[in-house]
Each structure stands twice: as structure tokens, then as C-alpha cells.
Structure 1
Amino acid sequence: MKKYHFILFFLFSTLVHSQDRYHLKSDTRLFTSKNNTGEFLGYFKYGAEIQLLSENEKGWYKVKSDNFSEGYVEAKFVSKTLNAADIKIKDKENPIIEGNDSYYGGNHLFVLVAGLKARALPDRNSKVKEILFTGDPVAVNYLPKNPEEWVNINGSFTPEYAQYTIGKFIGERPDFNALLKNFDQLDVAAIPERKTIGERIVELAWNSDVSKLAPAYQRYYEVVKQLNDPKLIAETDLNIAIAKGLAKPKTPEQIMALCKKAEFILKGQKTKSLHLTQKELEKTFGKPIKKATISDDCGIYLSNLFYYYPDLEVSVDEKQNQAEIIKVFINENNKLVLNANSILDHSISEKAFIAKYGTYIGASIKTPHYYTLLLGDGHFTIEFKDGKLLSIEIIFYC
């Protein structure tokens, strides 16, 4: 009986040991054996998290990396904690970039392809957690030597945060001018290749600065016209219009001046600069279909109590008889009046909105059909769907 107790204790202690958080306090490699024969599976960067799979074996641990590869590292590099006194030995051949550039604060590499699918597990059939774009920085602490292997691009063992892609899709940040040159050298008849490079150019331009958007879309539009896809042509025309507006932006002061006296009109009821009383709210809209208390650690809302209506979300302070509009769904009854000449209602199309406000708005390729307008302590998020204005939300800064 004692023997079984001992075995159970050993298994339990080993499991707990393997689940403890350990880190590498230097650049090193994941070796295939504990004798450092030179054969290795991949590169670790300082700070990489590992799981221990064995006790210290003559100065070596068997470990698991964040992409589930198993191998050996020297025990002298393993630590429960990291601190400023760590003496980092840099591996000059390690491709992982330290957090000392202007793109990312930790160990990282960059996405090399357009529309990269980051998956929940190292499996092509696994759930897609995020779509990444050419030039996006991604956290990398362990990089397999084999480019066909999976890489954890969030550097975490925690399933909630871990994301995976194939190693060949990440690397040093792509060079915009090199991509342009690559595109220009392709045969005009090589449409699939031109489309692939064109998509990368556009995404990298959005990840760089607005001055690169014009030459990017110039190339991409050549391919779009060759494909002759009406939907893609319309989408690209819209993005070109957005890019032109972003290239000539109004100053923050000019944008905030446009929105300074903004107010919603809801079923004919003016909101006095986005606010109204609780009594006015219920007189106009009746009782909410739902009430809920939200978490607001920053204290940015009037109250943690929210009222939800079919076309309205409001923060309500019942004791003070106050209500603050958070989100409005635009229809024939609801609109946002910026000033006498600037009204956002159900009749305005996305194309017309871009034509009139393109120099005022913020936009991103990662959130198509969403636009921002600065307020003093936040911004409007304006959403279009199928070319029509769907909703306007007020986002306050923490």
C-alpha cells in the first residue's frame, strides 16, 4: 500500500513541477540531447517561458517549449523569476528580434503574408482566433529551426492567449520598397502572383504610414481591374477614397471643433450634447428591455448601470436622474447632428460619408467600415453595414 502512495505522490509532484512557470534568463537553444552535441530544434530568446519535464540531470533539464516541442536546455539558464541582474548571453544567429525597435516592446517577429490566420492550436483545422496583416509584430519567444513547424505567436502556454502559425510566415519586417520592386518586375499576365504581392503591399502600407497608401493602391488596383470583380472593385474604390482623405488629415483641433456641439436627436428629442435626464429617456423610449451592471474600473461612464433599448444603449444614474448616451443605432428616428451642415442620418451612404468627412476620420484596414471622429475625452465610432450607416458609439478614454 505504501508503494502505491509513493507512486501517486511522485506522479502528482512531477505534474505540479511541470506546470510551474519557469523562464530562460538568456538566449539559448532547444537541444536534441543533454550533451550539447550541436544538434538543436530551435531558438529561445531571453524571457521565454518553458515547462520542466525532468529534474536537473547533470546540469540539464528536459523541457517543453511554448509550441509543445520537447528537448534539453542547460540548467544554468533556467529560473523561476527574471530580474535586471540577469547576465544575458546573446546568440548572434537567433532570428528573434528583441523589444528594442519602435514596433513592439518584447521579443517578436513580423507577419510576412496577407491575411494570416492565427490559430488556437498548432493544427490547420484549429479555430482561427485572429486575422493578422503583413507587417504586424507578433510575440515570439521560441522559434523552431524548421520553418514548416508551428510557432506560438503570443509566447504563452495559457490556452486563452496562445496563438499559432507556421514559422515560414513570420520573420524580419518586410521592406515596402522591395515589395513594390517585386510587384513591378512581375509579368502583367501573372495575375495570382500580382494579387498576392499587391495584398501584402496594401497591408504593409496600412501598417506603415499614410504616404505609402497611394503607391500601394496604385499597384493593387491594377490587379483588381484585371480580375474584373465588381465587389472587389467597389471595395477598392472605397479604400482608395479613404486613403486620399487620410493623406490630407485635418488637425485634432479642427476635428474636435466639428464635434464640439454634437448632439443626438432621438425620436425628435434633442439630447443636449449627448446627455439627457432619466425621466426624458423613459418618456421618449419607455422602460428598457434590459438593465445590466457593467465593470468600469476607469470610471469613464456616468454610471455602471446600463439601460438597453432596441436602438439605444445608455449609462444611467438613477439617483441623480441623469443619462449619458453610449451607442445609438441610426434609423429614420435617430440621427447625430454635428452642426447645421453636418448631419449623420439613415440617408447618408458610406461613400458619401467618406467624400465629405474623409479628412476628419480615422480608419484602419483591420476594422473595415468602422471610422472614428475625435472628441475631447474620447471619440465617436461610426459603423456602416452594406453601405448604410448602422450605428454610432461613443468611446471614452480611460
Structure 2
Amino acid sequence: MVIQAQNHKYINADTRLYNEATTNDGFKGYFKVNARVEVLSTQTSDWVFVKADNDNTGYVQSKYLSVKYNSNQNIVEDSDNPILNGDNYYGGHHLFVTVASLRARGEPNLSGEIRTILTMGEPVRVKYIPVEKDAWVNISDNRYIQRKYLNERPSYDALALSYASIEKSNTNERLKIAERLVELAWNSGYTYLKSAYLVLLDVATDTNNTALIKSTQMYLTLADGLEHPLPSEMVTSFIEDASFKIKGVQINKQMADLNTVIDTYGQPIKMENISDECGVYYSSTFYHYKNMTLSVNPEENLAEIVDIILDENSVFIMNENSIIDHTIIETEFIKLYSKYIRTSIQDLHTYTIFNDYGGYNIVFKNGKIYSVTVFNLC
């Protein structure tokens, strides 16, 4: 056996991670093409001892290892490999989360730091999948979940039938399935969203959960707007002349006189140069104030708003008839603008209004307006 310095290689076709240097002694998991492995040692000319991205170790035939990423589209696939190819939900190799509010951890164990919360029906990147159900899967960026919570995309209709079969007195189970329906609906476009929230409202009403009733009613309004949005040209027209007013100073098209800003707010708390490869900002020089960030060009004496925390000194003027100030609450905002906005379960409480070149992210915290971020598309 030859011990090698640490190096990495790519799997060049569907294959498996074997227990021993033979195909006759069982295997630990499945690889998809371009999975990255760490080479630990070379056993023979035909077999290499490797570590997968979830720290599983085992053997791979050397013919399936390449130094470079494989762009060949004509790859022989393993029909038993459960990892899915790209589809309408995810462009690369993936599987779907099959439970609600799943914690992804920073290490492959239950003691690992919680990195993110995943939702029912959410697609996640998978390049290696272990066979053992309790084993851990690296879903990118060293975020791990257990194998038993990944599978093909769940069926909304099947889950709805499951909910309908639950005894009405079994409120805990009804709530669990209702929450799964809501998450799955969010990850299925907006078609099922209203029906899912109606199911959740049914449970909330039966249990007299006033907080859940209130939030669900808000989301029902949101779901209706998301399912029946206004035409994009109408939304663009609605927002095309948006501006801000800060301490009485009108800022049209997000551009302000830099000297006026400094006279009003003083020198920034922090100045920095950022990387802007796409050129989406007016300048790569950023001025940070307590309640706003500006992209500035001192030579031209101009500053462009990047984001602003709305307070008693600032308002966001979407148009002359639609002015957002620090007093607006989330439920009222949704009632007024649900047909103009887009959002997702990953960014709940952040609502996007698009224009021709980007748009605005309007953020709420604890039911109250928090900030507005201006963004341009790359």
C-alpha cells in the first residue's frame, strides 16, 4: 500500500463506495459524477482508498477517478443510484427534504452547530449518498443532514390525503402534517399555497391558537396575491419612479448629493471598497452610516442608496400614492401590496418588488417594517 499526501480527485461516472477493494463485499454509498473525494491511499493499480464528503471512507475503482471536473454529458449512470439529476426544481444532482423544519448541522452528528433550517420539499445538492439511513449527507458548504430525511420529491396530493385521514381529535399529528403541507406548498410554486394555509387555519381554529390564526390569516392574504400577481409591466410602472426622503431631503432615483448627505449625517461610521465584478453598484466605495449604506463617488459628489433602515426620519416613496414609513406593519403591507411582491419560504418577511433592472427588498422584523435594500441584477 502506498501512502499519499492529501489530494483530491473527482468521480468521473456514477459509481459506489465499497467496503473493501472488491465489488463483491458490499458498499457504503453511491457517488454521482463529479463528486469530490479525498484520496487517502492507493491499494493496488485498480483500487484507491478515499474519503467521501461526509467523512465515509472506503474504496473506489481507480478508473472512476479523474484529476479534473468532468464536463462530458454522456455519462453511464447507475440505475440504482437514488440521487436525482437536474430538473425544474434544481439544476444539478439533488434530493428533496421529506420533513418539516429540518436542522442542517455543521458536523455529521447531532451535536453539530445548527447551520440552517430546511423545509419540506426543498431540493438540496447531493453528490454522495450513504446507504445507511442514519448516516449523514453533506448537502454543500459542510452542512449535514441524515440520509433518512432525503428522498424523491414528496407529493402534495398524497400528503393532503394523509392529513384528511387523521382523526380530528389527534391535533398534534394534524398540526405536524399541516405544517409539512405549508412548507411543501411553498416549495411547489404558489399553486397549493392557499389550500395549505386553509388546512393550517383549520387546525389553528380547532385548537383556539389565536397567534397561529392571526399569522395564518396574513399568509392567506399573501398566498392569494402570490397566486394572482399583477402583470410585470404593471408592477414595473408602479415602482419606476421610486425614491426616498431622508430628514426631509428628497432622493430621486436613489441618488443623493454627497455633500448634502455629509452635512446632514456627518462623516460615515465606516468606509470600505467592495468587490463589484458585475458592476451593479454606482461605485465600489461604500459609506456606512448607522441607518443606511451608500455607494459613493466623491469626485462626482454623488451617493446612491444601497440600503436604509426606515425610522422616523426616512420614508420609502414607491410612487406618489404609495408611501412606506416606519409605522407600517406587515399585515397592512401585505393587504395593500400582495399582488406586487414576490417572496419565498427561505426569505419569509422579505418582500421583493422587481423593476426592469433589479428591484427593492422590503424587510419586516417582528411584524414591523425594518429596512429597504436596493438591488440591481448582474
| TM-score of the alignment, normalized to the shorter chain, above 0.5 | yes
Contact 2:34/2:70 (CA < 8 Å) preserved in 1? no
Which residue number in structure 2 is paired with residue 48 of structure 1? 35
Once the two structures are superposed, the pairs formed by residues 206-221 of structure 1 within 5 Å of their partners are 206-221=186-201
Tell me whether 320-329 or 305-314 shows the greater mean CA deviation.
305-314
Cα displacement string for residues 83-127 of structure 1 (whole angstroms, at most 9, x for unaligned residues): 45587432221111123x222222211111111111111011111
Q: Does residue 238 of structure 1 match 2:218?
A: yes
Cα gap change, 1:289/1:53 in structure 2, threshold over 3 Å: closer, same or farther?
A: closer
Which residue number in structure 2 is paired with residue 111 of structure 1? 97
Which residue number in structure 2 is paired with residue 328 of structure 1? 308
Cα gap change, 1:88/1:56 in structure 2, threshold over 3 Å: closer, same or farther?
A: farther
1:148 to 115, 120, 134: 134
Tell me whether 168-177 or 89-98 shows the greater mean CA deviation.
89-98
Which residue number in structure 2 is paired with residue 128 of structure 1? 114
1:385 to 354, 365, 377: 365
Q: Does residue 255 of structure 1 match 2:235?
A: yes
TM-score, with structure 2 as normaliser: 0.94
Which residue number in structure 2 is paired with residue 179 of structure 1? 159
Percent identity for Structure 1 against Structure 2? 37
Cα gap change, 1:85/1:346 in structure 2, threshold over 3 Å: closer, same or farther?
A: closer
Give the 4+ runs in structure 1 shifted more than 6 A: none
Cα gap change, 1:58/1:202 in structure 2, threshold over 3 Å: closer, same or farther?
A: same
Give the SS at the match of 1:376: coil
Which residue number in structure 2 is paired with residue 190 of structure 1? 170
Which residue number in structure 2 is paired with residue 93 of structure 1? 80
Which residue number in structure 1 is paired with residue 55 of structure 2? 68
Q: Does residue 138 of structure 1 match 2:131?
A: no
Contact 1:43/1:142 (CA < 8 Å) preserved in 2? yes
Query: Aligned partners of 1:86, 1:376: CA distance in 2, in Å?
Result: 35
Cα gap change, 1:75/1:338 in structure 2, threshold over 3 Å: closer, same or farther?
A: closer
1:303 to 283, 293, 298: 283
Give the SS at the match of 1:362: coil
Contact 1:63/1:70 (CA < 8 Å) preserved in 2? yes
Which residue number in structure 1 is paired with residue 375 of structure 2? 395
Which residue number in structure 1 is paired with residue 3 of structure 2? 14
* Count of residue correspondences: 378
Which residue number in structure 1 is paired with residue 269 of structure 2? 289
Q: CA deviation at 1:166?
A: 0.5
Contact 1:382/1:393 (CA < 8 Å) preserved in 2? yes
Contact 1:25/1:87 (CA < 8 Å) preserved in 2? no
Q: CA deviation at 1:345?
A: 0.7
Query: Aligned partners of 2:138, 2:326: CA distance in 1, in Å?
Result: 44
Tell me whether 229-238 or 167-176 shows the greater mean CA deviation.
229-238
Structure of greater Rg: 1
Give the SS at the match of 1:174: coil
Query: Aligned partners of 1:326, 1:295: CA distance in 2, in Å?
Result: 14
Cα gap change, 1:266/1:20 in structure 2, threshold over 3 Å: closer, same or farther?
A: same
Query: Aligned partners of 1:98, 1:50: CA distance in 2, in Å?
Result: 20
Which residue number in structure 1 is paired with residue 64 of structure 2? 77
1:102 to 66, 88, 102: 88
Query: Aligned partners of 1:20, 1:124: CA distance in 2, in Å?
Result: 29
Q: CA deviation at 1:223?
A: 1.7
Contact 2:106/2:113 (CA < 8 Å) preserved in 1? yes
Which residue number in structure 1 is paired with residue 341 of structure 2? 361
Cα displacement string for residues 192-225 of structure 1 (whole angstroms, at most 9, x for unaligned residues): 2222211111111111121211111111222222
Give the SS at the match of 1:52: strand
Query: Aligned partners of 1:340, 1:85: CA distance in 2, in Å?
Result: 55
Choose between structure 1 and 2: higher strand proportion. Answer: 2
Query: Aligned partners of 1:289, 1:151: CA distance in 2, in Å?
Result: 43
Contact 2:4/2:42 (CA < 8 Å) preserved in 1? no
Query: Aligned partners of 2:248, 2:73: CA distance in 1, in Å?
Result: 65
TM-score, with structure 1 as normaliser: 0.90
Q: CA deviation at 1:302?
A: 1.3
Which residue number in structure 2 is paired with residue 7 of structure 1? none
Contact 1:26/1:87 (CA < 8 Å) preserved in 2? no
Residue type at the aligned position of 1:116: L
RMSD: 1.9
Cα displacement string for residues 307-359 of structure 1 (whole angstroms, at most 9, x for unaligned residues): 22222211110001111111122122210122232110122221111111111
